[in-house]
Amino acid sequence: MDNYNDQVKTLLAVDCIIFGFDKKHLKILLIKRDFEPERGRWSLMGGFLQPEETLDEAATRVLNHLTGLDNVYMEQLRAYSAIDRDPVERTVSVSYYALINITEETKLNDNFSAKWFDINEAPDLIFDHTNMISHAMSRLRHRAGTKPIGFELLPEKFTMKQLQTLYEAILGEKLDKRNFINKINGLDILLKTDEKDMKSSRKGSFLYMFDEVKYNAKVSDGFTFKL
């Protein structure tokens, strides 16, 4: 135990990279920092690990404190340990990224001056937070091609056009409509409802739902998601 007392203590933090989708654009949620250093600049939402918490629990707490949400898709990304990354104290940060469907019911904590930015229009951030977002985008693009995590960013019912728009936003490229629809239908993991979104066209567009039960059953049988 005495050996522990001789060691230098280092702060451990979590930073949350929160992605959202508003049916048209992929967005990132940022807060305006209200304390020094870097007061007044945009930042990711973060916090320090508390003694009674695991890293996952700390990230969930930070996310909930800002958005009021829990039970959302969240994944640990990586650790950042550059010696001078925080000018105040030696701080190691573990980043997480989360996926949120932006709706009118998504209420943000007013204490943080939080704002959604289009992913391609995000301002310069403090410390290494811009690198965190870049790494999170790379992970998100990989996951979107190998797991159905994109549906976490959509409402429960969505049009095929909304789904394609989301994947185009994540991948950063235009997709051929016919090929995309054929790929999605070939996966056989969507449930086509009898409802239509009448805002999209005169005839309307059918609404779909992600069939998680069917997807899990297919995975158990050896199915591999590949878009």
Residues 32 and 126 in one domain: yes
Dihedral (C-alpha) 113, 118, 122, 128: value to the nearest 10 degrees? 90
Please write the tens of the pLDDT for every residue from 158-207: 999 999 999 999 999 999 999 999 999 999 999 999 999 998 778 899 99
Total domains in the fold of the chain: 2
Please write the tens of the pLDDT for every residue from 15-33: 999 999 988 899 999 999 9
Q: Find, among 49, 45, 43, the residue nearest to 127 by Cα.
A: 43
Residue ending a domain, choose from 85, 112, 146 = 146
Residues 198 and 95 in one domain: no
Residues 98 and 6 in one domain: yes
More confident residue, 96 or 101: 96
Residues 15 and 111 in one domain: yes
Q: Does residue 44 contact residue 125 with C-beta atoms inside 8 Å? A: yes
What is the extent of the structural domain holding 62? 2-146
Q: Tell me, what CATH number does 81's domain have?
A: 3.90.79.10
pLDDT of 201 reads 77
Residue ending a domain, choose from 112, 146, 180 = 146
Q: Is 169 exposed, middle or buried (0-12, 13-18, 19+ CB in 10 A)?
A: buried
Question: Does residue 225 form part of some domain?
Answer: no
Q: Does residue 27 contact residue 117 with C-beta atoms inside 8 Å? A: yes
pLDDT of 199 reads 85
Q: Is the pLDDT of residue 38 over 90?
A: yes
Q: Is the pLDDT of residue 96 over 80?
A: yes
Residues 134 and 185 in one domain: no
Mean pLDDT in residue range 135-140: 97
Residue ending a domain, choose from 127, 146, 165 = 146
Write phi, then psi, for 31 (nearest 5 degrees). -120, 155
Compute the distance between CA of residue 80 and CA of residue 93 in angstroms, rounded to an integer.
Answer: 5
Mean pLDDT in residue range 46-74: 95
Residues 70 and 31 in one domain: yes
Compute the distance between CA of residue 69 and CA of residue 109 in angstroms, rounded to an integer.
Answer: 11
Q: Find, among 222, 223, 151, 159, the residue nearest to 188 by Cα.
A: 223
| Contacts with 78 (C-beta within 8 Å, 6 or more apart), sequence order | 94, 95, 135
Q: Does residue 65 contact residue 22 with C-beta atoms inside 8 Å? A: no
Helix (H, G, I), strand (E, B) or coil at 79: strand
Residues 90 and 159 in one domain: no
Residues 175 and 139 in one domain: no
Q: Find, among 139, 128, 131, the residue nearest to 98 by Cα.
A: 139
- How many helices (H) and strands (E) the chain has is answered by 6, 10
